Amino acid sequence: MAQLGLHEKPCGVLNVENYYDPLLTLFDRGVADGFIYPINRRLVLEETDPERLLDLLAGYTPTRVEKWIVRDES
């Protein structure tokens, strides 16, 4: 939703005992293969410690992400 410009809220993953490693690896693979822009990958904050994740979320400053699909208005 943030990638589409519908909100600027942070998204956090609490990766306890590396549970979400496969998901995060998928995101990283998407970047490596050119399916996800690195700036969009950074929209997902990750941490293993709840307090540090809350700090990341509290300190989050949204980055303007340009839409990757633009309707041709011509």
pLDDT digit string (tens) for 6-63? Answer: 778 889 999 999 999 999 999 999 999 999 889 889 889 999 999 999 999 999 998 7
Question: What is the rounded CA–CA span in Å between residue 15 and residue 45?
Answer: 10
Q: Could you give the 3-state DSSP secondary structure of residue 10?
A: coil
pLDDT attached to residue 28: 97
In this predicted structure, what is the pLDDT of residue 1?
A: 73
24 or 5, which is more confident?
24
For the whole model, what pTM was predicted? 0.76
Task: Report the pLDDT value the prediction gives residue 4, as an integer from 0 to 100.
Answer: 72
* Dist CA 74 CA 59 (whole Å): 40
Are the C-beta atoms of 73 and 28 separated by less than 8 Å?
Answer: no
Residue with the bigger pLDDT between 14 and 69: it is: 14
